Amino acid sequence: MVVRVRLFASLREATGKEFVELELPEGATAEEAWRRLAADHPILADRRRSLAVAVNRRYARFEEPLPPGAEVVFVPPVSGG
């Protein structure tokens, strides 16, 4: 199945990409999507602990299976004022 991962803030800056499409096995989780993304972009590997994840515009758990065609957003910490 294909999922679309949108990248924001520091993740976009690190990869230089707004989104990527990942080919994953049916039933793959957000955790598996993150691992694939980090394998393709090693600069991201150490950022997992600080992320939240949203699937199809709803916060989700990393263990949840992704539906085919899902839009996945890994949400980095936000700071500013």
- pLDDT of amino acid 81: 60
Tell me the chain's radius of gyration from C-alpha atoms.
12
pLDDT (tens place) for every residue of the chain, 81 residues total? 999 999 998 899 999 999 999 999 999 999 999 999 999 999 998 888 889 999 999 999 999 999 999 999 999 887 666
At 37 the pLDDT is 96
Q: What is the pLDDT of residue 49?
A: 84
Please name the residue that has the structure tokens 């924001």.
8
What is the pLDDT at residue 23?
98
Q: Could you identify the residue written with the tokens 């393709």? A: 40
Contact 37, 24 (CB under 8 A): no
pTM: 0.89
Domain spans, the chain: 2-75
Whole-number pLDDT of residue 46: 87
Return the CATH number of the domain spanning residue range 2-75: 3.10.20.30
50 close to 77: Cβ distance less than 8 angstroms: yes
